[in-house]
Amino acid sequence: MKTKQRIAPSSFKLYGVFGFPLKHTFSPAMHQAAFDKLGIPCFYLALELDPKNFRQVMTQKKKLLLEGFNLTVPHKQIVKPYLDSLTFEARAIGAVNTVIRKGKLWIGENTDAYGFLKSLEEVHWKSKGKTVLIFGAGGASRAVIYALCRSGARRIVLLNRTVSKARALAKYFTKFFPKTRFEVRPFEKQVIGKTLREVDIVVNTTSVGLKRADSPLVLNGDFPRAKGNRLAVDLIYNPSETPFLRSAKRAGWKTVNGLGMLLHQGARSFELWTGKKAPVDIMRKALHGCMSRISL
Ligand code: ATR
């Protein structure tokens, strides 16, 4: 944080991320690196906030002197009543990960779908006309569904442990994207294997794979052979290669983890706050630094 010595404290602006728990967040390192690189006098803080105190903090956010903030689990879907307006994307996804302050107004935006699509662009993936399998029907799944529909996916199969949640999501998004065909299937081993043979791209939005002890989402041999023309995405980035991605890679699928999505959603938030082009390479380097520190 080189700017600390150079600039009077009164000219500093504050940003941060609210989440719970928040011990392992990479966002402060990523955003601080960007602010420092552009010489913008800002601090970006990790703001661990217990959900039971969320209401109190949000109703008094002016006192926090924040210019804007990010939200992560479990606050993304509960912030709406405390904001003055939502962008179309935030409303459609039903979750806010970025709040922008415009004068007296607080505006909710969602940059997760943008970040997800950018991370697919990095491997030259195009979703138009494709068939997709998505594991999970939580908050992260909503942004992924929105992103894939926006980019022209033809058919989306949803698999979730709690089938009713997948059904509700399919119904919800059919209204926004009538051209995409939704299908909900039961979360069963045979169904997973069969569905993987039908799809071009599979995305894991669940937390399965975060812990070593997790039983695998997909069994070895479930992925059909591919020659780099099919894509497996895991939103998990720590570990950088989950058993799910490892199985996909072994079968010849292209793989992408969640670090690119984290990077690009952050870069977009940064641009919305500052009006400046985000130094993406610097932010990426900061994220790789975080990854190498945790793997020491
Ligand atoms: P996020 O915002 O990260 O999506 P979330 O809204 O809590 O977090 O959603 C977590 C997702 O992971 C859900 O789809 C959840 O399935 P349920 O809807 O059945 O709860 C899924 N998930 C979590 N643990 C799981 C497990 N052990 N097996 C299968 N799915 C799991």
Whole-angstrom Cα distance, residue 237 to residue 287? 10
Q: Taking 60 as the threshold, does the pLDDT of residue 8 lie above it?
A: no
Question: Is 171 assigned a catalytic role?
Answer: no
pLDDT digits (tens, 9 = 90+) for 240-260: 999 999 999 999 999 999 999
Whole-number pLDDT of residue 6: 55
pLDDT digits (tens, 9 = 90+) for 128-182: 999 999 999 999 999 999 999 999 999 999 999 999 999 999 999 999 999 999 9
**3-state DSSP call for residue 212?**
coil
CA-nearest residue for atom 7, ligand 1, is 138
Please identify, by atom number, the ligand 1 atom nearest to the C-alpha of residue 235.
Answer: 3
- Mean pLDDT over the full length of the chain: 94
Q: What is the mean pLDDT of residues 77-101?
A: 96
Strand 66-71 versus strand 13-19 pairing type: parallel
Please choose, from the candidates 222, 236, 232, the residue with its C-alpha nearest in 3D space to the C-alpha of residue 253. 232
CA-nearest residue for atom 26, ligand 1, is 208
Interval between CA 242 and ligand 1 midpoint (Å): 16
Contact call for residues 106 and 59 (beta carbons, < 8 A): no
Considering only CA atoms, give the Rg of the chain.
Answer: 19
What residues line ligand 1, using a CB cutoff of 6 Å?
73, 136-141, 160-162, 165, 205-208
Whole-number pLDDT of residue 114: 98
**Largest interatomic CA distance in the chain:** 63
| C-alpha to C-alpha distances, 222 to 65, 82, 231, nearest whole angstrom | 51, 45, 14
**3-state DSSP call for residue 256?**
strand
Q: What is the mean pLDDT of residues 79-92?
A: 96
Interval between CA 253 and ligand 1 midpoint (Å): 24
Whole-angstrom Cα distance, residue 207 to residue 140? 10
Residue among 52, 61, 62, 76 flagged as catalytic:
76
Token reading at 182: 């939704």
pLDDT digits (tens, 9 = 90+) for 199-237: 999 999 999 999 988 888 998 789 999 987 999 999 999
pTM given for the model: 0.94
Partners of 182 in beta bridges: 156
Domains and CATH numbers, the chain: 9-110+260-295 (3.40.50.10860), 114-257 (3.40.50.720)
Whole-number pLDDT of residue 10: 61
Please identify, by atom number, the ligand 1 atom nearest to the C-alpha of residue 142.
Answer: 4
Please identify, by atom number, the ligand 1 atom nearest to the C-alpha of residue 141.
Answer: 4
Interval between CA 208 and ligand 1 midpoint (Å): 8
**3-state DSSP call for residue 244?**
helix
Tell me the pLDDT band of 5, cut-offs 50, 70 and 90: low
